[in-house]
Every structure is written in structure tokens, then in C-alpha cells.
A and B are shown apart, each in its own frame.
Chain A
Amino acid sequence: MDDFRFIENFKKGDISAFGTLVQKYQDRIYTLCRYILENQDDANDAAQDTFVKAYQGLKSFKPTSSFYTWLYRIAVNTCLDHKRKYSLHSLFFSKDFEEHIDNYPSHAPSPEAAYVAKQSMQALQAALNSLSTKLRVVIVLNELEGLSYEEIAEVLDVSIGTVKSRISRAREELKKSMGEFTEQR
């Protein structure tokens, strides 16, 4: 069943239809929040808030855009609000970044490959975290969530040209930060 059918059922009073939508998108929304907000507790809070806001707005949702771009827009705005709210807090209680990236799991098969993969993933995570939020959001939506430029423009309510330029800048900055992991040998 497609999203619009679930939405129609929800509008008729079937709350379980909304539960199905949460089930369908929770991993993607949580991943997006996790990469924007950097830690799992904040990501969990933001993902929950995203779905609660979606629930409150779903009755007035008009299918002029796809449900998931609408949901991503709520998620991005919720994460930005979250960052604003906690930016002052983080000045005094910043998390140990090394501890955070050490927890990054690796699925590589051999110990050597696992080491290299883990190193590169840690470097990628560190490079992502060093980006400004604007650039981080576009690159995560593009590279991790696989959204087209048009969809990203819709999510962020900006022009395609802006998306194109932000993604190019994000890649350039990541390339500089990643150094040895992307350089041609």
C-alpha cells in the first residue's frame, strides 16, 4: 500500500495507519537526525518530535508533494530547532568527540580492512561534523538519503541552484578534511 492510502485511512480516523508510516520511515528519519545532531539521544528526541509534528499536521497535508519529502522537511527543521535550543548548552557540556567516533561500528570482513574502514568512517564522521549545518544537511540528504537536487530543494524550500552550489561546497570541504582517504595515490 502506498503512503497516500495510509494517509487517507488516517484522515478517516485509523490511527494505526499513522503507526505504519512511523514504522516505514523511522530508520531513515532517525539516521538523518543522527547525522545532523551527532548523538543518539538528541537524534531519538528529534525523530520522535518529527513524527509527533507530522501527526499533528497530517490531517491538513495535501498530496501536492510526496509524503517523505514533507516528512524530511519536518525532520530537518526539528533538528535545526534542536541545535539552536541546545547550542548554548553544548558550549558548557560538549561531548567528547573522540569517544563518539570510537563507537562507530564497522562491518568490514578482515581486521585490516575493518581497521581501514573504521578509520575512514571516523574520518568521514569527523569531516561531516566539521561542516556547517547548512552544508551537512544537503550532503546527508544527497549522499545518505539519496534525494535528488529537486527533492532537496523541496525539503529545504530553496532553489535547485542553491542546492547544487551547497553540495559542491560541501564536497570540496569534505575532500580537504578527508585528505589521505580520498586522495589519489
Chain B
Amino acid sequence: MADSHGAALARLEPIFSPKSVAVVGATRVPGTVPFDIFQNILKDDFQGTIYPVSPSARAICGVKAYKYVLDIPDPIDLAVIVFPSSVVKLALEQCGQKGVKGLIIISAGFREVGAAGLQREAEIVEIARTYGMSFIGPNCLGVINTDPTVRLNASFARHMPAVGNIGFLSQSGALCTAVLDYAHAKHIGFSKFVSFGNKADLSDIDLMLALKDDPATKVILMYLEEMTQGAAFVEAARRVIHEAGKPVLVLKSGRTQQGASAAASHTGSLAASDEIVDAALKQAGVIRCTTIEEMFNNAIALTYQPLPKGRRVAIITNAGGPGVLTTDAAIHEKLELAQFSDATRDLFKRSLPVTANIKNPVDVIGDARADRYRVAMSAALEDDNVDGALVILTPQSMTDIDTIAHEVCTVAAAHDKPTYTSFMGETDVASGIAILQDHNIPHYLLPETMCRAFARAHDFGTERIRKISAPVQYADVDRAAAHALLDAAIATGRSYLTPSDAMKVLAAYCLPVLKSAIAQTAIDAAKVAVHVGFPVAMKVESDDVVHKFDVGAVVLDVNSAADASAAYDQILANVTAHLPNARIHGVFVQQMAGAGEETILGVKRDPAFGPVVMFGLGGLFVEVFRDVAFRIAPLPVEHVRAMMHEVRAFPMLTGARGRAHRDTAALEECIQRLSQLAVECPQIQELDINPLIIRDQGFGCAVTDARILVKRE
């Protein structure tokens, strides 16, 4: 479970910053995990004391070995367990007796191998709890802390990474080694590097919260394969971003349609698990990445440079073509080309060749040396109309690449606005790129990725200070009435509520259901229609008729008592003809909704994230284009608005191409009330309001049909 504020870092203290480490199960055989981990701790200059524990070796790498951890005469803060899984519990028992507080369990052979492994995992969790020990793993690569006062490489990675401000947390150990190699080539350092494996005790959430309070970590990167505690993860990420102001970047694999295929409703089938993950991460302000490269492209921007305060960029280039490419990329990412002040333009005129382009992008011309870059960068970064500089270089014969790289670093360091670079090419620019990387100037192979990283950094700066209000709690709802209807459905073994009961549940939460009643006879239908008010819609009330239009069980625009009576008979005849065994409870008579735009609202209860609310425009937009947006309930109004605007067809509700302005304020209230209903009524598994008619501004919305699937235990 996730820890409360500050507690996570305290639990991780003996693991991240131990004074003494025992490697339990170490061997003398090079090339094995037990040996390599011991050797890594030793050779990477751990600042504390290390003790090998081995039943058979007297010494490992010249360090005296102990048969049991209990034989070590000194206190032990951290034990790294490398024994085979079958005896890990014996090692843990002794660690507990020894008073060890932190463990890294490298050993595989637990939950990931099936039932027997799961049992072993439960046993080690129990032992750790008994003795008050916290552990990372099992089934992991290990932990690295680059802090010079600690220098712990308790892993079987090939190398200790450089010191940096990126905290990396990974569910995959193998990916960690690839990431370390990639980062090494790009001169990227880390603060903490953790492979958390099966997270049987300390979870990804605990680790994220620990890094929130870790002063050495500025940015948190995570590789996840599943999010079983989705709601808790979102809450923790939100705290990291809004309380500590640290960006969280997630690379999430394991996209699956499994959840969708098992779903029964529109919302259920549209809300595939990955779409929910996507919505949840967006809602938390997490930057979701699709590749390792994208993750580090964003991470270096966020770590190395100040956040852009706006979207206005100055492009400085020694080549016209790349300047245009960068301009296109910037506009694509919704950045703006800064309009330089008169003073800046004058300075450019005085300092740059007459052939130079002094508008944005600033072309300092192909023969530019470091002085021109210095003048252009300095003037641009000092201009109040500029929020950051994008510096391009292509290697001409006279281009002094290394000197320019040094000049870029110097100018960038003198300003509190971000500078990103793209020295285009490979071999000729390599030494210049290395200079930039060594001075923490973000470098990108392509202008497109540079612009994307600038935009993400700006988005994060906006997200970090975004104020989110508390979700509205409507006091006029009748929770008891909704519960009674839902509980009754469950008690009688129903999967779906009847249409009229579904409408009553929505009415209990003051969603704008149309006036309606059930008619039991043709004469009754005439009376009911008069009471409801013409025109009315009529449809069969039956659990057994799912696709009512297909069997002629719906009649619309009924305008008189006589027509209502006739429609009743017609509906019953049609249903009996198509589905002779259908159980019919009467005919549902409902007020017509009137003109408006059809939308769909829905709820799906996700096992990891809880109630998920969906919104989209109706008809083709949902069925063909899947143009829908999701958010996790409860929903503050800011998230409701973001969700509405995320739907590409939303402008159809706001007057696009001469269409009427619809009542989006009423829609906003509907979504908030639905969010409250979803949270307060856990009996609901899936819910569709389809369609919800959005009338013209000031005339509200109307729920014309709804289905509610209850949760069966």
C-alpha cells in the first residue's frame, strides 16, 4: 500500500542510504548474479561497509565472508538477498533476527512462476512484516543510488550511472540495463535507479512518493507494465506534481483489449483498459511517453533547463532549411515564433551580416562562428517577448562546432530561460553534442523532437500551477432511493435495471430525465400519455428486448390519446411476433426530448481505477470515430471541462459552422452529477445515458434512454 506523506522516504532510507550492507547468498563465481552484485557494490566505491554472507566461501574478492548474517559482529542496515527463492525465507528470518531494516530481494522464482511462487512471496511478506523490515523486489535488478556520500550500486547492471537528477523506477529489470546503456551514451545521469520487480512490499507508488521528497531527484521516470492500484497511483502522482512540483513521466506497456471484449455496454466497450490508463495519467498531470527515447527527450528538457514561461520561441540557425523545418515543427506543437522587440532587431542589424535574416527564425548564415551565435542567443534570450531559444547548427566547412557548443553553454547558463539545441548530423557534430550534453544543454537529433520537448516542458509548467477545485457535492440527490433500486435489482438476480428503474436512479441524482410512466393496457396508455404530455415516445418495457428498434418496439412522436392507444397495441403485437417468449411488463411512455444534439454519457467501474466517466457526441462520432473522452470520478469541474474539450466534435455544441450554441453549462452539470452517482453507488458496474440530448443554450439537457448494469458479487 502507498505510504502517507514523508513515510515512504523514511522506509526507504536503509535501502537508499545504508551505512552497512550484507550480500546474503554471495558466491565466488564471476558472471553469476550473487558475485556480480557483491563486486558492483565493492568496485563502485560504496561509502559504507560491505559484508558477504556465504555458506561456503571464506572470503569473496578478498573480503572476509560470514556463513550467516547473524554471524556479522556489526549492525546491518541493508541486506541484498541473492539466494535461490527456495531459501529466501530462511535468509529473511535471520535478517529479521539481526535487526536489518531494509532488504533488496533480487531472487526470482516468486509470483511470476505461478502458485508455488505466489505462496513463497506471501511467506516472505509475512516474515518482513513480523520483523518490521521493508523490501524491494523480489525478482528485480536491484537499486542504485549515485549520491557521492553513498555510492550504492546494489544491482547486476554493467555500470554505475553518472550522478544526475533523474529518478528512474522500473517494473522490468531487463529494461533497466538497456536504459542505463542508452543514458550512458547520452551523458544522462541519475539520482536513484530502482528496479522494483514484483513489488510485493514497497510498491511503485511508495517509491514515487519517496522520490517526491528526495532532494536529489528533480524528475521521476517510470516504466510500468500494469497499474493494479490505479486510483492510488493517480493520487500519488498528483501529489508529486502539485506538492513537490516534480514532473512524472510514465512509459506504460501492456496495452490490451481484454477489458473491452468483456464489456457489456457502449461505455464498457469503448473504455478499453489502456484508454482508462491514458485518461487517468492525463488527469493526474503525468506525461505519458510511448518510447524510451521520448521519455528521455522530455526528461532532459525538464531536468536541465528552466521551465518555459510561455510558448514564444526564438529559433537561431546557421541554415535556412533546418530553420524552416524547426518553424514547422514549432507551429505543429502549438508553439509561437516570438516577435522580437525593436531593440533586439536593431541589435541584430548592427551585429549580424546584412545577408542574415533578422526575423524569426534568425539565420546567422552558414559561415557563422561562435560570435554570431553569442550575439543572436544573448539578444533573443534578453528579449521580453521570448520564452526560450531553439539553437540549430549544421556543420559547414568553416563551422567551429566545439567553440560554438561552448558558447551556447555559456550564454544559456547566463539566462533563466531555456535553451534547447539540435546540432544536425552525426559524425562531425559528435564532439559538439558531447560538450552540450556535458553542460546539461538538452540536445536533440531532430528539430521536431526538440520542439515537442519544449511544448511538453511548457505544458508541465502550466499543469504544475493549475488550480483544481474540489468536486461538487450536490446536496439535492436522493442516494437512498438510488441504492434501494440498485439493491433490489441485485437481490432479484437481475443484471440490468428495467428502463424505468434506470431512469428513476438518474432522477434520484437530479439528472434531467424526461417525464414518463408505464402503461399496462391500451386504454391506460392513452391516459398516461395525456398525463406525460404530448408528443410522447413509447417503447416496450421488457428485460428480454434489448434492441427495441429492431423489433418495432418503439414508436416516436405520438400526438394524441387515440394514437397512444393504437401504438400500445402495435408495440405488443410486434414484440410478440418477433420474440414470442419475451416477458413484457407494459409500455414505457415518455415525453419527447425535442430538438438538440445527441451525446452519450457513461460510467464503467474499472478494477484498478474505480468509476470512470465517459463523454462523447452520439451516433457516428461514437460508433465509428470512437470520439470519446474518459476521466476518473470524482470529477472536479476543471476536469469535466477538459474532458468535454478533448472530444474532437465538441465544437458542434458551441456554434461551429453556424450551428446553434447548445446548453454546455447544463451538460457540465450532468457530467458532475453522473460522477457523484458513480462514486456514491458502487453497485453500478456500467451505465449508459444514450442519448443525452443537449438543447439550445438555456434550455438544458434531456436523458431519453439509459441502461444500468449492476455489479454481481
**A and B associate:** no
Residues of chain B at the chain A interface (Cβ within 8 Å)? none
